[in-house]
């Protein structure tokens, strides 16, 4: 990958994608941040949207919707990775989750693609506690979870 890689961030209007895109932009990187609602749109259910967003990108941050645990996600991820490699993408970072069987299959499909792959299994440890469900508890100063 070049010394100034060009990034594609999928789901760039959502929780993690927004933060990844913001951080990469703050570091001065060339970032293409896309979602279903951006001008240059990306939609997992419409592979015709994949080519334009992947063009001239070196690395991709992947969040899959609705969830990697959905049956068939492995085939979609494999097809996306193949398309990414055809466009010259070298590195794919994918946000996974709790390790469900279908998610493992999608992770495996990505590893088989030939890309340089990193899978992030963000299961509470990397949780965004500053919004949504947990925000009131954080603001009150106490967050109690059934975790060790």
pLDDT tens-digit readout, 98-140: 778 889 999 999 999 999 999 998 766 556 677 777 788 888 8
pLDDT at residue number 62:
98
Model pTM? 0.85
pLDDT at residue number 101:
86
Regions in the chain scoring below 70 on pLDDT:
1-2, 123-128, 147-148
pLDDT at residue number 107:
95
pLDDT at residue number 135:
82
Q: Which residues contact 125 (CB under 8 A, 6 or more apart)?
A: none
pLDDT at residue number 76:
97
Q: CA–CA separation, 107 vs 96, rounded Å?
A: 8
Q: CA–CA separation, 11 vs 58, rounded Å?
A: 17
pLDDT at residue number 2:
63
pLDDT at residue number 112:
97
Q: CA–CA separation, 118 vs 94, rounded Å?
A: 6
pLDDT at residue number 141:
87
pLDDT at residue number 35:
97
Residues 29 and 5 sit within 8 Å (Cβ to Cβ) = yes
- Could you tell me the domains of the chain? 6-140 (3.40.50.720)
pLDDT at residue number 74:
95
């Amino acid at each position: 990958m070049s010394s100034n890689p060009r990034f594609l961030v999928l789901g760039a209007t959502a929780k993690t994608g927004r933060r990844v895109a913001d951080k990469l932009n703050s570091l001065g990187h060339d970032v293409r941040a896309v979602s279903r609602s951006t001008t240059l749109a990306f939609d997992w259910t419409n592979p015709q949207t994949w080519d334009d967003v992947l063009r001239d990108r070196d690395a991709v941050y992947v969040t899959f919707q609705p969830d990697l645990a959905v049956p068939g996600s492995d085939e979609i991820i494999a097809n996306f990775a193949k398309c990414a490699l055809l466009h010259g993408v070298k590195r794919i970072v994918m946000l996974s989750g709790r390790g469900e069987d279908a998610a493992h299959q999608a992770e495996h499909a990505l590893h088989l693609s030939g890309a340089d792959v990193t899978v992030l299994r963000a299961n509470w440890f990397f949780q965004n506690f500053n919004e949504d469900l947990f925000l009131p508890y954080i603001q009150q100063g106490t967050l109690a979870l059934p975790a060790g």
